[in-house]
């Protein structure tokens, strides 16, 4: 009996250590940095980052979903730094052009043409020097290559 009691006391130390570890870890990760990133799906920054990971995906289905989600997201960014009119229009136009290129790759000409038409409809708001379907598709391809490729092997 005495042996068991001693064992319980000894086991208590690591147990309490682990409790402290968990509590400290929680405070460190989620309380101190909680305003910078949260796991709540209501947090727009976190949502955006999730889209942005998906946009780099190689799987066309995931890309299409992410691009559509991104368009949807742009609809409720009022007050955000993206709400400057030409900035927002450029983002919408380029995202639609990427969807057009995506449907082109998948072989659906009608969808591709539809999205390109939608993309060019943003041209007047985008305030670019030249803005037509071709120009948008060229730049959409630059975005499709992905940021890392774009930065390190810049081909124009």
Partner 1 sequence: MRNTLKLAGYGVALVLGLGLGLYKGEEYGRTRAGIVEFAETLRRDPFESIVFEEGTDEAKVDLIRAQLAFKDRQTAKGAPLASRGETDYVIGYARLAVFSELKGDSVSAADYLQRAIAHCLKGKRKDDCDAEKLRYLADLIDHRKALPEKDAK
Rounded to 5 degrees, what angle do the CA atoms 72, 62, 100 make?
65
Closest listed residue to residue 63, CA positions, set 155, 156, 143: 143
- Residue from 7, 11, 18, 61 that binds partner 1 (CB under 8 A)? 18
Q: Is position 124 an interface residue for partner 1 (rule: CB under 8 A)? A: no
Residue entry with tokens 């968990």? 22
Nearer to partner 1, 30 or 108 (CB): 30
Residue entry with tokens 């043409």? 113
Q: Is position 91 an interface residue for partner 1 (rule: CB under 8 A)? A: yes
- Phi/psi zone of residue 7: left (φ > 0), alpha (ψ -120 to 50 degrees), beta? alpha
- Only segment of 57-65, 85-93, 99-107, 111-119 that touches partner 1 (CB under 8 A): 85-93
Q: Is position 9 an interface residue for partner 1 (rule: CB under 8 A)? A: yes
Binding positions for partner 1, rule: CB under 8 A: 9, 12-14, 16-30, 32-37, 45-46, 48-49, 52-53, 55-56, 81-82, 84-87, 90-91, 94, 126-131, 135, 139, 142-143, 147-148, 150-151
């Amino acid at each position: 009996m005495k042996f068991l009691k001693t064992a319980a006391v000894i086991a208590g130390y690591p147990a309490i250590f682990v409790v402290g570890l968990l509590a400290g870890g929680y405070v460190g990760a989620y309380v101190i940095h909680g305003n910078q990133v949260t796991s709540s799906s209501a947090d727009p920054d976190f949502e955006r980052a999730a889209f942005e990971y998906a946009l780099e995906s190689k799987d066309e289905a995931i890309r299409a979903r992410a691009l559509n989600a991104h368009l949807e997201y742009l609809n409720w960014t009022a007050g955000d730094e993206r709400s400057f009119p030409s900035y927002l229009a450029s983002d919408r136009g380029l995202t639609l052009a990427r969807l057009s290129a995506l449907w082109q790759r998948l072989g659906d000409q009608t969808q591709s043409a539809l999205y390109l038409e939608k993309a060019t409809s943003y041209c007047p708001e985008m305030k670019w020097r030249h803005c037509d379907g071709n120009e948008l598709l060229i730049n959409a391809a630059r975005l499709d290559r992905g940021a890392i490729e774009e930065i390190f092997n810049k081909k124009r």
